[in-house]
Structure 1
Amino acid sequence: MKIGILVDSSATADPTIFTKTLVECLPLHLTYGAEVDILDTPENMEKHQVYESIKQGAVWKTSQASPGEVAQRYEKMLKKYDHVIHIPITDNLSSMLGTALIVSRENRFVDKVTVIKNNTLAAQAISLMALHLSTLIKEGVLETPEMVVDEFYKMATVFYIGIIPGDLKRLASGGRATKIASSILNVFKTKVLIRWQEKPEKEGMGRTVGSLTDKAVRGMKELFPNQKFHVILTTVPIYNEKNRKAAAAVLKEEKIKYSKEPIPHLYPVHAGLETVGFIAYPLNFKIHPEMEK
């Protein structure tokens, strides 16, 4: 059975990482006012200068893919694959999961599309999981949709996902993370580290990104006791160099292996350009060989 995997643009800022894999990426939408509605792609981000616009005070928002867009992508993928596994953006950030479930229940997609109820993974953790599944499918380890789903739920707990929002007021103004941000807005000039999981929790508060990176490292070490792990440090390039360097300095001091990646566009749009994210996973987690270079 040929099995393909679908994620959305909340999983990566660079969908070319899925080249030569079984993974495809469905772009979400970015909107500005009542007239501007663009697909969340690197080309559109550059064309519309979205980050520069946000820096100047513009309020962009995000929107899920429409049911029609989801159905169209399912139909396109089913021309290549016998079955599609869809891993949408986590349910505590968007209603995309609910929309995908409704579309997948249409008669034409029954027994051909499986939507995973992702309540925990965000940002690059989704792309890493998709690449992991793709590799195991290609190797013949996962032969059925049921096996792919079981592997997802088995491995979904191996990630540490943390985020330091750059702009709590922006985060509190919309989206499904509103309650978390609103609960700490009354703390003057304080940054917060949020541990992303099914029920996101405040893991620490501090004045600097460095101090919160220390707290994130402690959380990672608790999750991976006596186990080596890798960290993806994810930020907005150019606009957030100060915070990236502060977080990187702590990771270097702790002698933790890490790599730098652009943060998926959805997160700085919701949480500000100075947002910092950490995705940690054990070194024995199997991903696509191209990602391991």
Structure 2
Amino acid sequence: MNEGVVDGGLFVQSFAKGLDVLLAFDAGRTSMNLPELASAAGISKSAAQRFAFTLEALGYVTKDAESKRYSLTPRVLELGYRYLQVDRTLERANPYLLELNRQCGETVNISEPDGVDMIFVGRFPGRQTMPVYMPVGRRLPMFCTAAGRAYLAALPTDAAREILQRSDRRRYSPTTVTEIPELLELLAQSRERGYSLANGEYYQGDLGIGVPIFDRMGRPIASINVSGSSTRWTLDRLQEEIAPMLMETMRLICTTPPSPKDAEPFRVGLHPQTVPGRRNAARRKT
């Protein structure tokens, strides 16, 4: 939450609580009854009942008739899908990411910053299967991932240090770097060579190399990275073989819009009649 705007008179507390109800569901709470939902969302049971009823009426949650437990419906995915439809960075990058994926044969990701994390907004899987599930929407910490370090390295040092200080710098694997001075040194190295590295620090055995994506003003707005298994790659090979391709892909995304022909396969939107509000408008026209 952006704490800087919460105190303003325009903030709608009830809407925020409704979102808290949706976000209360996770891998450990796939279904909840009203008391559990109220506790998870930090609201009263009566408020949970009102929000659950409203969300059920809108089709975002469903209630089991026997257990009286609520769970999310696939309609929730539409909220995230709308972002992917309007994300201009993703639209611009997709054709180049696909080509990079074809060239290197490994998984290519694009992620964008949110707080102290990076969130996958696009993914092109490699030819070899990975033993860990990393779907679009997955949130990963900046401090120990190639994509996150690429983004941090593109920030002013003070801004990067502030994010590192707020991060939960836990040790995910034996190679995870957690101390701020050492992390700042890694970021300095990334700035010097133009790309970042991660040696299985979030998931053991997963090697990563990443570069930042900049907007027209030269500000970092995203990162792209290539992931490869340590059974097939070393960090030296990634730098020798993948880094040049990754750097060229970054250059193209930042400087050269894709041709309409290359971009067209990625412009997949909703049919107008499936968008709420447009269906009635179409009927009125007829």
TM-score by length of 2: 0.26
Structure number having the greater strand percentage:
1
TM-score by length of 1: 0.25
> Which of the pair has the greater relative contact order for Cα pairs under 8 Å at 6+ separation?
1
Structure number having the greater helix percentage:
2
